Structure 1
Amino acid sequence: MKAITYRAFGPAAEVLQLEELPTPSPDHGEVLVEVSFTGVNPSDVKTRTRGQPGLTGFPWEYIIPHSDGSGVISAVGDGVPSSRIGERVWIWNGQFRRACGTAAQQITLPAAQAVPLPDNVSLEAGAVLGIPGLTACHAVFGQGDVTGKTVLVQGGAGTVGILAVQLAKWGGARVIATCGAQGSDRARRAGADTVLDYRAEDLGDQVLTANDGNPVDLIVEVELGCNIDTDAQVIAENGRIAAYGSAREMSPKLPFMPLLFKAVTVDIILVYLLSTVERDRAIRRLNDALEAEALKFDIQKVYDISEVCAAHQAVEAGAREGAVLIRLNDS
């Protein structure tokens, strides 16, 4: 099989390569997936440059990167029903704490990590569900329904944010999104009731005005360190801040008193480590939204397998208008 690999950490152009590797065979409880598309996420490029937290040095002979992907099950190991052969699936945690991820034409992994893809959902969209889809779904619904509530999505035009806007709207919430001017139309098309410029000096006041002067119930947060003061201003008593990122300020200072006297929950989300209960719940919610055709997926570009360096560099550059995928097999 063709696989994208690297054998040392470093820049994409220096370490990524395309090579032929043996096709793996599924062990007990595993499936073999013919991967149609692999998704490139910010965490994938960060892992390529520095490794995964908790792992020392370069832990394997080589790494096949990427956690997300989609494809068709072609074989099953003992303990997995043969009826799953031919099933279209999407994949989560493909390369988390293991050497071989979804950036190869075949992957073996535990059967639970290959989730059936509804017939009305494309394989391209399936490759966006692992990290962005589950993160957005858990951030919005991690503490229950949002019907009748107000959800603020900070970074509402990003890959996770645009899905969070759609999921919250589908869930019956009023949605306020913040983003740059370039993404405002995308956030509106996704269903946001109000879209605000994240750079506005009076952003907190604008959020409250957009919610009829009332604080918001839930904040889906892409940049906790930069936005925590605004979040503390606009969050309601007993509200929740679901933070999945803080790249610009990795050591945030929390305004403890305002958060304390609102009894705010700051929920730090790492989608790789969702409990089985949390993940199953998020998968069910995602499936319901997909079946209801409530989600549209923005895909910036699909690269050829030979263009892996360009795909990684596109993610590293930021300011994307959708997901970045690599085609591995014809679907």
Structure 2
Amino acid sequence: MKAIVYTSSGGPDVLTLTDRQVPEPGPGEVRVKVHVSGVNPTDWKSRERADPAEAQVPNQDGSGVVDAVGEGVPASRVGERVWLWESAHQRPDGTAQEFTTIPADRAVPLPDSASFDLGASVGVPALTAHRALTVAEFGPARLAPGALDGRTVLVAGGAGAVGNAAIQLARWAGATVVTTVSGPEKAALATAAGAHHVVNYREQDAAAEIRRIAPDGVHVVVEVAPAHNAALDVAVAANNAVIAFYADDAVDFTAPVRGSMAQNLRWQGLLLYTVPAEAKKEGVAAVSAALADGALRAGPEAGLPFHRFPLERTADAHEAVRGGAVGKVLIDVAS
């Protein structure tokens, strides 16, 4: 089978297309014939920062069909369409290969109504968004219709992959969704995702406009750039709001101390790979329910345009994400 591997950290040039034996699933695992591999910022960052202990196949997310099961996994799962998450976390077998083995609970049933492209798009972005939307004090542990009724959510950077998922999940859960963008093209994407209100921070007084929309303040901020937006977040936050920040922009930031104290704000850091296992389980269940409801979508009509690459151009796919491609970068693994 064809696979992309790297054996040392570095730039995209360390990624090599190779032939490998088709793996056999171990106990508690399934083997998946990968159709589409999804690329996230953590994929190229992991490749750049850490030398793997063995040949590493990159990419956490993907979709495909279960074609074999290991001991302890029901044979009935063979033939099941699935979406994959955390395929390469502390494991050598990511999704940039024709077949991959993975713990059975990380291969989640994909509804027939959901495309493989959508399945490869939900893992890291949707699970990150779910965690950000459920860390508020007295908030729900799992999103579902009505779970965020009466709450206002601010999504910073609504045209990004996590922002897109946050808009869709928050709206599905009943929140009023406000998002900030940098220009009209990104505003169109955020609107397509389902945001109720879109604020162009380069053309509007963002704080004043958000306060006009939500006079009592926003209850949850899904924050992509805390170093740049800390003052804005405090200015528009409701009392007891949470500001959940997830992006690694390599810039330290200072939280406005007085405003954070006065409003009892919580600054919540978020990295999916170290989120508690129970919270991940809740996220997987909620994302699955949202997929079944048709509430999670992908593609240009959902504000998440695709950028496609063949498997042999995985290095270019990583560079597209590193360069800030707006939308979702996908690798077509199955011909």
Please indicate the TM-score interval, normalised by the length of the shorter structure: over 0.9
Please say if residues 7 and 52 of structure 2, whose CA atoms lie closer than 8 Å, have aligned partners that are also in contact.
no
* 1:219-261 per-position Cα deviation (integer Å, ceiling 9, x unaligned): 1111112111111111111111111114152x11111221112
Task: Report what 2:91 is aligned to.
Answer: 98
Contact 1:300 1:324 in 2 (8 A): yes
Shift of 1:135: 1.0
2:67 to 74, 82, 94: 74
Structure 1 residue 17 displacement after superposition? 1.2
Q: Say which of 103, 120, 141 aligns to 1:110.
A: 103
Name the amino acid aligned to 1:300.
F
Confirm whether residue 206 of structure 1 aligns to residue 206 of structure 2: no
SS of equivalent to 2:267: strand
Equivalent residues in 2 for 1:69-218, closer than 5 Å: 69-142=62-135, 143-144=139-140, 145-181=147-183, 182-199=185-202, 202-211=205-214, 213-218=215-220
Q: In structure 2, what is the Cα distance between the partners aligned to 1:329 and 1:114?
A: 17
Deviations 1:58-90 (A, max 9, x none): 232321101101111111111111111111111
TM-align CA RMSD: 1.5
State the distance in 2 between where 1:256 and 1:229 align: 10
Name 1:54's counterpart in structure 2.
none
Instruction: Determine whether 1:23 maps to 2:16.
Output: no
Distance 1:167 1:275 in 2: 20
The 8 Å contact of residues 225 and 246 in structure 1, kept in 2 or not, is answered as no
Aligned residue pair count: 320
Q: Is the 8 A contact 1:175 1:194 kept in 2?
A: yes
How far, CA to CA, are the matches of 1:209 and 1:198 in structure 2?
Answer: 14
| Aligned-partner Cα distance in 2 for 1:224–1:69 | 29
Question: How far 1:30 moved relative to its partner?
Answer: 0.8
The 3-state SS of whatever aligns with 2:7 is coil
Residue 200 of structure 1: how far off its partner (Å):
5.3
The equivalent residue for 2:225 is 223
Per-residue deviation, residues 197-224 of structure 1 (Å, max 9, x unmatched): 234573222211122x221111111111
Contact 2:93–2:102 (CA<8 Å) still a contact in 1? no
Taking the aligned partners of 1:116 and 1:158, their CA distance within structure 2 comes to 25
Contact 1:224 1:246 survives alignment (8 Å): no
Which residue identity is paired with 1:36? H
What SS does structure 2 have at the residue aligned with 1:161?
A: helix
1:317 maps to 323
The alpha-carbon deviation at position 179 of structure 1 amounts to 1.1
Unaligned stretches of 5+ residues in structure 2: 141-146, 299-303
Deviations 1:140-188 (A, max 9, x none): 2343121111110001111110111111112111111001212001111
Runs of at least 5 residues in structure 1 that lack an aligned partner in the other structure = 52-57
1:204 and 1:110 map into 2 onto residues whose CA distance is 45
Post-superposition offset of 1:321? 2.9
* Percent identical: 39
Deviation >4 Å, runs of 4+: none
